[in-house]
Amino acid sequence: MRSATAISVKKKEITTGDRTLANTAIQQLETVKSRYEAGAKNACLEYTNSLGSKKAVEIAKDDAKTALDAFSEDILNQFEKRINELLLAFGASFRIGKVSRSYAGGRPTSSYQLIINDTLVALGDSTSNSAEPSFKNTLSAGDRSSLPFAFFVAQSELDPKLAEKLLVFDDPLGSQDRSRRFCTQQQICRLATNAKQAIILSHERMFLREIWDASDSAKTRSLQLTRIQAHNTAIREWDIEDETSLDYFREVRILKRFLDDGDGDPRHVATTIRPVLEANLRINSPGQFESNEWLGNFISKIRDSQPSESLYIWQGILAELTDINDFSKRYHHGTNAGSETEPIDSGELASYVGRTLEIVNAS
């Protein structure tokens, strides 16, 4: 009876209650209760752990990004410095600058601009206005070919696995100017020494001979493509020394031995300077000089040449050719009756031999 009365009293108390609020309270209590059930408890624990893992990944990502930025900055600085050193060695009329990096699209890339006469010039692309300065309309053919070669050399030098790599140089002279020939040969020989193997393809026999002379013959092979049928070719051994053993090469070696080691009779060396220059000019400008002409005649033809003529390229060293010729003709009977008794100073002779070889190496 007492319980019935208590119930009645309780019913009277809640007649004015809010059913919606009561349901909400019940749901909240059930939710609190469910947190302590086995499945929910494990899910909450996993969620909490996931938040911690996410935070750790974000920290690791930030650390990796910082390390990548530092690494990229260091590498780009090394590349920029080395590329500009190579461009300077090639005598290029420009440098690269404003090198930057980007991670757009999730892939690291870099960009740069040309510096010409202290002015930044954009590389440009197929959509660029042809009237605006860019890579293709501000650089000579030689400069345009020097840039990718400098990139290749710098990339190869900085490759930690260079000793495992095979390098292929396909017509490395390309559009290179005469003055860049020796520098190109130096860079190729240096890389070839440090790489596992290097293959140099070229139609320039003199250039290949220079590569051969600068290389270890025990580790170097010379091959050539030989036509065996109307439409077939084969790779065969090429006796590079036999096919390039002109008097010119022997005389060049005479000058080199004297300059490097002091070997050789000074008077014979002095009389070798002129024929070396004559042969060099004949080889690099075929058909331009008659068989009965000598260096003095060559110089006159070069001096009188016009910009549209092939000999005009030699005008840049005309004064040097004239100076060397004036020195060397003192030791030739045809231009000096007392040539056999003309005094020879070894230091002076070495200077003119060195200047002669600079012309030979650059052509």
Q: What is the pLDDT of residue 16?
A: 60
Q: How confident is the model at residue 3 (pLDDT cuts 50, 70, 90)?
A: low
What single DSSP character describes residue 288?
Answer: S
Q: Using CA of residue 277, residue 279, residue 284, residue 285, what is the dihedral sign? A: positive
Q: What is the pLDDT of residue 71?
A: 64
Q: How confident is the model at residue 187 (pLDDT cuts 50, 70, 90)?
A: very high
- Smallest CA-to-CA distance from 169 within 226, 136, 208 is with 208
Q: What is the pLDDT of residue 204?
A: 76
141-245, what's its fold? Answer: Rossmann fold (3.40.50)
Share of the chain above pLDDT 70, in %: 90
* Angstrom distances, CA of residue 125 to CA of 96, 109, 129, 134, 141: 17, 16, 9, 8, 17
Q: How confident is the model at residue 57 (pLDDT cuts 50, 70, 90)?
A: confident
Q: Could you tell me which residue, 186 or 124, shows the higher pLDDT?
A: 186
Q: What is the pLDDT of residue 165?
A: 95
* Mean pLDDT to the nearest integer, 318-327: 94
Q: Could you tell me which residue, 344 or 339, shows the higher pLDDT?
A: 344
How far out from the chain centre does Cα 3 lie?
99
Q: What is the pLDDT of residue 175?
A: 57
Q: What is the pLDDT of residue 25?
A: 80
Q: Which of 29-43, 214-228, 300-314, 318-332 has the lowest mean pLDDT?
A: 29-43
- Smallest CA-to-CA distance from 206 within 175, 233, 246, 155 is with 246
φ and ψ at 65, to 5 degrees?
-65, -40
- Smallest CA-to-CA distance from 182 within 52, 362, 1 is with 362
Q: What is the pLDDT of residues 211-270, one digit of tens each?
A: 888 888 889 999 988 766 667 788 888 888 766 666 787 888 899 999 988 889 999 999
Q: What is the pLDDT of residue 102?
A: 76
Q: What is the pLDDT of residues 9-51, one digit of tens each?
A: 767 666 666 778 778 888 888 777 776 777 777 777 888 888 8
- pTM for this entry: 0.53
Tokens for 177, please give them: 């100017």
Q: Could you tell me which residue, 66 or 211, shows the higher pLDDT?
A: 211
Pairwise CA distance, residues 116 & 93, whole Å? 7
Q: How confident is the model at residue 179 (pLDDT cuts 50, 70, 90)?
A: low
Q: What is the pLDDT of residue 323?
A: 95
